[in-house]
Amino acid sequence: MHVLVPDDPVFFAAYQSLEEPLLRRLFQLNSLHGTVPRPGDEQILSNAYDSWVRLLLKLPQWQRWDPARSPDEPVGYTLCRADGALLTSLYPVEVTMADLGHLTSCRDLLAADTAFADACRRVLEVLMLPPPWRLLAILREPAGVVTLPPEDEAAYRRYCEDVVSVLSAGDTFAYESHRALYP
């Protein structure tokens, strides 16, 4: 399925924050001496980490860091309102139900780590937001500059508001700061 991922540092930071707890738990499982982990825990963590990496490589922020990319090569596209004002870009990303399932299983397994579980829940909620189908169709093959007609801009704004609400709920300052990324 395709989801729309925002070119948003708050989303990317939340996504990146999942790596360290996943790696730490995998290391702990592999270095336990005399302690036997519950059956399946290592497989759940291993699958979740593999899914995390597969998704990371598809994120727009990650593609900017690709060492094989020429510095002169443009990344992405420019998204504009009908009046020409810039908007935060959204990128269609193919996500499999299996990858979402692996991350969900891992979130459930590590529920005692409340910081991880909360970050994972927020990331998964963003990845499971249903994208507006017309917006998804417009952004599937973006090139250069994409100008949204007013009706699609309204869908864009609702979708972005959902992203901000999921990622920054519960903290007024974080919400207001995050909301400022979406003019």
Phi-psi region of 117 (alpha: psi -120 to 50; beta: other; left: phi over 0): alpha
Say if residue 31's pLDDT is above 80.
no
Report the SS3 class of residue 78: strand
Q: Where are the domains of the chain?
A: 2-179
Say if residue 62's pLDDT is above 70.
no
Return the percentage of the chain with pLDDT > 70, whole number.
Answer: 89
Return the percentage of the chain with pLDDT > 90, whole number.
Answer: 69
Say if residue 35's pLDDT is above 90.
no
* Res. 12 pLDDT band, cuts 50 70 90: very high
Q: pTM of the entire structure?
A: 0.86
Say if residue 66's pLDDT is above 70.
no
Are 142 and 135 in contact by the 8 Å Cβ rule? The answer is no
